[in-house]
């Protein structure tokens, strides 16, 4: 009995082990899939703000527009969009693709055919996490084919544990096409590997076609056709994915030559290549948008290149047959690849001579993707920049897995050389990995692709180790050393990934994904864009026109949309174009497709209002032109390290460089020079983006603040360094003393930091602030605040002195919306040949703050003057969106106050001329062309026989502009008091963020007439 029991127990144990061996990969794969989905989706609630779903980045917002359109017009996608790139409109081939259609289908299903906007957003919120998790399936499939089931599990494990681009692109809320690209490209590679494996086993040849041997062709043709469908799916997701066809082209050249050198006919693999690429070409042709050659559109390039590679496969198979008929000795087999190389070089040379433009295009595209360098404008886009410090970056993201992947690639190449029956799919994965590595080093965005070859080559590497230590793969034959070897390899592959993503000073992947959110950028902009959507006239309705452009209208594709009267654009940097379209429901002049980027750069860097007008009224002279300008703190900040973007327009605008606007001042250290701060030139302060965000279009006079530095000669020219005496900023009692120091020092400048220009900046006459964001740029931890704190430390400024020198206002808004208006005309009478200052206090309810707009003109010989002002003081309720105008949020708290400097009459009396006047909203927006008139009245502040100062009516010492905050230096130039009173405090630069907005702030700009 005991003997039978023992046999039964042995049978049960054996059966259990067999079941484990047969099915262990299933629960392992399920656990890994669950982990990937959890890490990617766990932070979903962070993306819901006040019940509204937000997304991170820029492109997801345009995908939202495309998905919503497709839901309304299933299965069609938007053929043309007039709501971006004013005044032309555009069609973006990389949007409205298979990715958007899939999300639209899910939204339609979940919404029972009529999903709400919130449902659509929720689908898009989770889509990247789900698609990112599904990527594990083709990775497992590839790993299993190259390294067995255990290798496939290891490949998925590497994928699940890796940080970097793929993780970031597949997080909840990043509803961009990148994660779909990865899923469909990896699926296409898997399908191609399967098709090659079937062709390698079935050995199809041309004679089977001529003899119509359907049964012999069914499997190789079927699997190759499926591979063609998979390639087409990838191209339907991302038109620049034509790179994959190029990779396949290189692979087939190498693989077919290798087959011939091994003494085997390459015809069977060429057969698979012809079928798969032919099918892909036919399918992609259905999406053709243009007959031009373009990688970013669905053009003749995608099907044309696929057919060219297919034709190349036919030619190489034919050439192999011809070469065999020469009966050359075996040792001359290498003559075939030599002939192929010669033919390719001859073909390239012929193209360069006969079709030079086409040849240059292909060369440029190859260099752009795998050339290990980028263009100056491309360098302003984060994802297009080359990967810096690749070794350390790869280690932080993949641990040692990138090295074991390299070892796997080397083993694969050795196998290809030593084994005549080497799998053709292995060489494809190696070539695929090499191209993606070069692409990642050229453009860091391709890192989210690179995780695939790394994971699959690790699967292959582990599979080869298993094959080496246990060639029979039998449970009974496994020894202790074999188990330890496998565990050691597994630890080498996976343990460093875990350690580098959870070591000291770092966060685990789980905690990183838990803290994911839409980002401060869109949170700072979103309420203001909601205001824009509701409180500005819809495009086509400006000034009461009745030509509204349907937000989800269907228009045929065209190059230049004919905008009607009442249409207008919103000027901002191209980064924000999709936000303006999707959330503001307005038409940006520039967008993240970099359409309009040069024009936007020219406007933002314009040095005066006339130059800016030549951009919005010249280059964009259609319908009503550009009516609004949206600027945030980043567009005025020079500190790119903390999110500043002022440098970017200098790359796109012609005939300028960043050194024209700001230059680094460095701190010498033993490790080399390190940036201390950026010193700004007058051109920086004259630029439109700065005049708007910092000064609200008001006139600005310099203050007696001087920046000082030393100059050191280096091999690259002179370099500015911090002064040896440590005093980088000096304060003077008058502008005369400040300018005298600058002349004598030789390496100093008035202003150059904070809101401190070197020369006077005149007021803008046609741009007014209409809305501040609720969010403050100075909130704790913001890039704006960190940049100011860094600058303050480098300048040895602390406390109140730092705030007064560097802060433009106590509570600077994150984003500010300006409107371009005709402006109201003011005509006045005062003393002849005298400067007259006009000022008005404006109030912003969003920030609970005030600022003062000032403008200065000079009277003629008869005392007449005229000025155009952009801010109204009364009549707001008479105009609004119902009449085609803006419901302005920023409104005046006073009339315009006019004043002159101190005048001395023939009798010796000292007088100031003053007056008040209102400008209506109708006058500012051009509905009322009547000019406001004002006559200044003389007020004697000191008689000729009075030896003491006389105070004015409000009990303060009379000053140049009557504001009580300015004195006049010996040169007659108004000089703001260098140390404002307590009511002018601009805030605090400590780590707690800027001061609270509980009470309206005083006019902290300290702007002189």
DSSP string over 205-249 = -HHHHHTT-HHHHHHHHHHHHHHHHHHHHHHHH-GGGHHHHHHHH
The answer on pLDDT for 589 being more than 70 is yes
pLDDT value at residue 954: 37
Quick one: average pLDDT of 569-577? 96
Which of 618, 624, 594 lies closest to 606 in space, CA to CA?
A: 618
pLDDT band with cut points at 50, 70 and 90 for residue 476: very low
pLDDT value at residue 460: 93
Residues facing residue 680 across a β-bridge: 662
pLDDT value at residue 264: 85
pLDDT value at residue 828: 95
Q: What is the dihedral of CA 647, 648, 654, 659, to 10 degrees?
A: 10
As given in the structure block, the two tokens for residue 622 are 């259609």
pLDDT value at residue 208: 79
Quick one: average pLDDT of 336-358? 91
| Cα gap 785→779, rounded to integer Å | 7
Beta-strand ranges (E) seen in 106-263 are none
Quick one: average pLDDT of 553-557? 88
> What is the per-residue pLDDT across 135-147, written as a single tens digit (0 to 9) for each?
999 999 999 999 8
pLDDT value at residue 375: 67
The answer on pLDDT for 127 being more than 60 is yes
pLDDT value at residue 644: 94
As given in the structure block, the two tokens for residue 609 are 């209002």
Q: Which of 195-209, 569-583, 747-761 has the lowest mean pLDDT?
A: 195-209
pLDDT value at residue 556: 85
Which of 841, 891, 803 lies closest to 698 in space, CA to CA?
A: 841
pLDDT band with cut points at 50, 70 and 90 for residue 47: very high
The answer on pLDDT for 959 being more than 60 is no
pLDDT value at residue 511: 60
Q: Which of 180-184, 749-753, 771-775, 965-969 has the lowest mean pLDDT?
A: 965-969
- Looking only at Cα atoms, what is the longest distance across the chain? 137
pLDDT band with cut points at 50, 70 and 90 for residue 387: confident
Q: Which of 187-201, 237-251, 482-496, 990-1004 has the lowest mean pLDDT?
A: 990-1004
pLDDT band with cut points at 50, 70 and 90 for residue 992: low
Residues facing residue 939 across a β-bridge: 912
pLDDT value at residue 976: 41
The answer on pLDDT for 950 being more than 50 is no
Name the pTM for this structure: 0.87
> From the CB of residue 960, how many other CB atoms can be counted at a distance below 10 Å?
25
Residues of the chain by 3-state class (helix, strand, coil), percent to 5: 50, 15, 35
pLDDT value at residue 514: 73
Average pLDDT, the chain: 85
pLDDT band with cut points at 50, 70 and 90 for residue 943: confident
> Is domain 821-984 given the CATH code 2.60.40.3390 in the classification?
yes
Match 């004697």 to its residue by tokens.
940
pLDDT band with cut points at 50, 70 and 90 for residue 578: very high
pLDDT value at residue 361: 87
pLDDT value at residue 982: 33
Quick one: average pLDDT of 20-44? 87
Quick one: average pLDDT of 300-326? 90
Quick one: average pLDDT of 741-770? 95
Q: Which of 31-35, 194-198, 507-511, 715-719 has the lowest mean pLDDT?
A: 507-511
pLDDT value at residue 1001: 41
Quick one: average pLDDT of 539-562? 90
Quick one: average pLDDT of 37-57? 92
Instruction: Judge if the upstream peptide bond of residue 340 is cis by omega within 30 degrees of 0.
Output: no
pLDDT band with cut points at 50, 70 and 90 for residue 670: confident
Q: Cβ-count burial of 654 within 10 angstroms (0-12 exposed, 13-18 middle, 19+ buried)?
A: exposed
Helices (DSSP H) in 553-624: which residue ranges? 577-582, 597-604, 609-614
> What is the per-residue pLDDT across 596-637, written as a single tens digit (0 to 9) for each?
999 999 999 999 999 998 887 665 444 468 999 999 999 999
pLDDT value at residue 955: 34
Q: What are phi and psi of 237, to 5 degrees?
A: -85, -35
> What is the per-residue pLDDT across 422-474, written as a single tens digit (0 to 9) for each?
889 999 999 999 999 999 999 888 999 999 999 999 999 988 888 877 655 54
Domain boundaries along the sequence of the chain: 2-33, 41-131, 135-509, 821-984
């Amino acid at each position: 009995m005991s003997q039978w029991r023992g046999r039964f127990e042995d049978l049960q144990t054996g059966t259990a082990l067999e079941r484990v061996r047969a099915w262990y990969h299933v629960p392992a794969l399920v656990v890994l899939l669950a982990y990937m989905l959890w890490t990617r989706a766990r932070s979903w609630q962070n993306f819901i703000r006040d019940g509204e779903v937000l997304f991170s980045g820029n492109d997801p917002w345009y995908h939202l527009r495309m998905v919503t359109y497709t839901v309304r017009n299933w299965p069609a996608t938007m053929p043309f969009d007039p709501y971006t790139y004013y005044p032309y409109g555009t069609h973006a081939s990389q949007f409205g693709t298979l990715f958007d259609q899939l999300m639209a289908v899910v939204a339609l299903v979940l919404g029972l055919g009529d999903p709400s906007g919130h449902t659509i957003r929720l689908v898009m919120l989770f889509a990247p996490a789900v698609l990112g998790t599904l990527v594990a399936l083709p990775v497992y499939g590839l790993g299993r084919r190259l390294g067995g089931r255990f290798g496939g599990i290891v490949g998925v494990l590497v994928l699940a544990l890796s940080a970097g681009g793929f993780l970031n692109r597949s997080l909840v809320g990043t509803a961009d096409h990148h994660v779909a690209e990865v899923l469909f490209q990896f699926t296409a590679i898997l399908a191609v590997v399967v098709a090659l494996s079937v062709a390698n086993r079935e050995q199809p040849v041309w004679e089977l076609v001529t003899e119509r041997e359907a049964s012999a062709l069914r499997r190789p043709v079927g699997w190759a056709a499926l591979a063609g469908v998979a390639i087409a799916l990838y191209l339907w997701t991302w038109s620049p994915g034509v790179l994959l066809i190029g990779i396949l082209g290189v692979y087939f050249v190498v693989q077919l030559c290798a087959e011939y050198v091994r003494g085997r006919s390459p015809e069977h693999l060429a057969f698979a290549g012809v079928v798969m690429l032919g099918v892909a070409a036919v399918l992609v042709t259905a999406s053709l948008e243009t007959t031009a050659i373009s990688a970013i559109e669905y053009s003749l390039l995608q099907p044309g290149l696929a057919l060219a590679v297919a034709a190349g496969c036919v030619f190489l198979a034919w050439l192999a047959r011809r070469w065999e008929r020469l009966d050359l000795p075996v040792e001359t087999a290498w003559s075939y690849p030599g002939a192929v190389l010669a033919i390719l070089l001859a073909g390239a040379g012929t193209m360069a001579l006969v079709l030079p433009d086409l040849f240059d295009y292909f060369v440029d595209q190859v260099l752009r993707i795998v050339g290990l360098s980028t263009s100056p404008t491309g360098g302003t886009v984060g994802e297009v920049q080359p990967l810096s410090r690749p070794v350390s970056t790869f280690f932080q993201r993949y641990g040692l897995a990138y090295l074991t992947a390299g070892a796997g690639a080397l083993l694969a190449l050795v196998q290809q050389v030593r084994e005549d029956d080497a799998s053709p799919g292995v060489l494809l994965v190696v070539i695929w990995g090499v191209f993606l590595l070069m692409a990642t080093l050229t453009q860091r965005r391709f890192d989210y692709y690179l995780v695939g070859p790394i994971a699959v080559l690790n699967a292959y590497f582990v599979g080869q180790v298993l094959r080496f230590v246990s060639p029979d793969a039998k449970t009974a034959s496994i020894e202790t050393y074999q188990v330890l070897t496998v565990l050691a390899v597994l630890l080498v592959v996976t343990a460093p990934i875990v350690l580098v993503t959870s070591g000291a000073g770092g966060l685990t992947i789980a905690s990183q994904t838990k803290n994911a959110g839409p980002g401060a950028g869109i949170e700072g902009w979103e309420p203001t864009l909601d205001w824009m959507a509701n409180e500005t006239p819809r495009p086509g309705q400006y000034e009461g026109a009745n030509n509204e452009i349907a937000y989800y209208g269907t228009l045929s594709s065209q190059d230049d949309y004919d905008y009607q009267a009442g249409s207008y654009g919103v000027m901002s940097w191209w980064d924000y174009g999709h936000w303006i379209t999707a959330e503001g429901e307005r038409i940006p002049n520039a967008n993240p497709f970099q359409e309009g980027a040069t024009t936007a750069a020219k406007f933002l860097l314009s040095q005066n209002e006339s130059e800016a007008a030549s951009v919005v009224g010249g280059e964009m002279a259609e319908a009503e032109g550009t009516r609004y300008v949206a600027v945030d703190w980043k567009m005025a900040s020079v500190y790119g390290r903390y999110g500043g973007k002022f440098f970017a327009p200098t790359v796109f605008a012609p005939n300028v460089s960043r050194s024209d606007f700001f230059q680094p001042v460095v701190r010498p250290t033993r490790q080399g020079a390190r940036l201390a701060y950026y010193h700004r030139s007058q051109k920086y302060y004259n630029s439109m983006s700065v005049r708007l965000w910092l000064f609200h279009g008001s006139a600005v006079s310099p203050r007696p603040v001087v920046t000082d530095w030393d100059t050191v000669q280096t091999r690259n020219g002179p370099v500015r360094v911090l002064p040896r005496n440590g005093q980088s900023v000096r304060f003077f009692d008058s502008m005369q003393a400040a300018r005298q120091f600058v002349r004598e020092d030789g390496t100093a400048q008035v202003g150059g930091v904070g809101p401190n220009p070197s020369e006077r900046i005149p007021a803008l006459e046609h741009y007014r602030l209409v809305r501040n964001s609720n969010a403050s740029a100075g909130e704790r931890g913001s890039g704006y605040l960190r940049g100011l704190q860094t600058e303050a430390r480098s300048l040895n400024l602390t406390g109140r002195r730092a705030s007064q020198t560097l802060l433009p206002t106590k509570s600077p808004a994150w984003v500010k919306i300006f409107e371009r208006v005709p402006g109201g005309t003011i005509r006045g009478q005062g003393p002849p040949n005298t400067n007259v200052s006009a000022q008005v206090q404006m109030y912003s309810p969003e920030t609970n703050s005030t600022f003062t707009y000032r403008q200065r003109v000079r009277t003629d010989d008869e005392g007449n003057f005229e000025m155009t002002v952009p801010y109204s003081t009364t009549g707001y309720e008479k105009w609004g969106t119902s009449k085609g105008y803006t419901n302005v949020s920023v409104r005046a708290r006073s009339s315009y106050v006019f004043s002159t400097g101190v005048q001395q009459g023939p009798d010796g009396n000292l007088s100031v001329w003053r007056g008040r006047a209102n400008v209506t909203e109708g006058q500012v927006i051009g509905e009322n062309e009547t000019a406001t008139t004002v006559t200044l009245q003389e007020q004697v502040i000191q008689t000729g026989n009075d030896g003491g100062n006389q105070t004015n009516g409000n009990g303060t010492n009379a000053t140049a502009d009557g504001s009580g905050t300015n004195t006049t230096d010996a040169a007659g130039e108004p000089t703001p008091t260098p140390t404002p009173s307590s009511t002018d405090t601009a805030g605090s630069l400590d780590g707690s963020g800027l001061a609270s907005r509980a009470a309206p702030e005083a006019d902290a700009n300290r702007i002189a007439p």
